[in-house]
Chain A
Amino acid sequence: DTEVTQTPKHLVMGMTNKKSLKCEQHMGHRAMYWYKQKAKKPPELMFVYSYEKLSINESVPSRFSPECPNSSLLNLHLHALQPEDSALYLCASRATGSYEQYFGPGTRLTVT
């Protein structure tokens, strides 16, 4: 199984809502990533988890709260988002000692 899955595929939320994005992989990868991608821009790193511990937070606003409850699962909790947070949110994973990342298909988020 070389798949990274993300749910939901699409999400529309109001600025006062609380929602979560989910990412899952069963490849035994111990590094997991959240990226944000706006149209015609490169994917922008948000967070990196290594062995279930947060190792990189790229100065992301606190309205985005990541969580890695186990080695297969990565969540991104969303609260009080702004319309400019509308974007494609991509999850990726990487095996220890490997260069290669495996991506999920992304969650298209719209904040109204």
Chain B
Amino acid sequence: ILNVEQSPQSLHVQEGDSTNFTCSFPSSNFYALHWYRWETAKSPEALFVMTLNGDEKKKGRISATLNTKEGYSYLYIKGSQPEDSATYLCASGPSGTYKYIFGTGTRLKVLA
């Protein structure tokens, strides 16, 4: 994998459902993996930064896991709420040149 890829591209779930998305990234020269939550007309908000293989992070109902050897991360949302509706972006980096590589995001819509 040369780029950062996210799936699915978009997702509609019912309130109360749990859901998860995938981020795939280049496993060579790995530095850190970032998850952002981005609501329309607002700044992307950092959710998690993970650096170690096997890392698991949790913030409220949202959690993330990291596998650096195979180059993927999962983001989980338990008991989705309408306010979770947003685009979830992942990014790999920074590299030694300060660069980050972003995925295209997963657009989540939680229906009440």
Contacts and interface: CB of A to CB of B under 8 A. Distances in A.
B32 A41 contact: no
Interface residues on B, range: 20 to 34
Contacts of A106: 43
Contact of B94 (A42, A43, A94): A94
B99 A42 contact: no
Contacts of B98: 31, 33, 48, 50, 55-56, 94
A3 B100 CA distance: 20
Contacts, number: 51
Nearest to B5: A42
Contacts of A56: 97-99
Interface stretch (A65-73, A79-87, A97-105): A97-105
Interface of A: 4, 31, 33, 40-43, 45, 48, 50, 55-56, 90, 94, 99-106
Q: Which 5 A-B pairs give the minimum distances between C-beta atoms?
A: A42-B102, A99-B32, A103-B44, A103-B43, A105-B43
Interface of B: 4, 31-32, 34, 36, 41-44, 46, 49, 51, 89, 93-94, 97-105
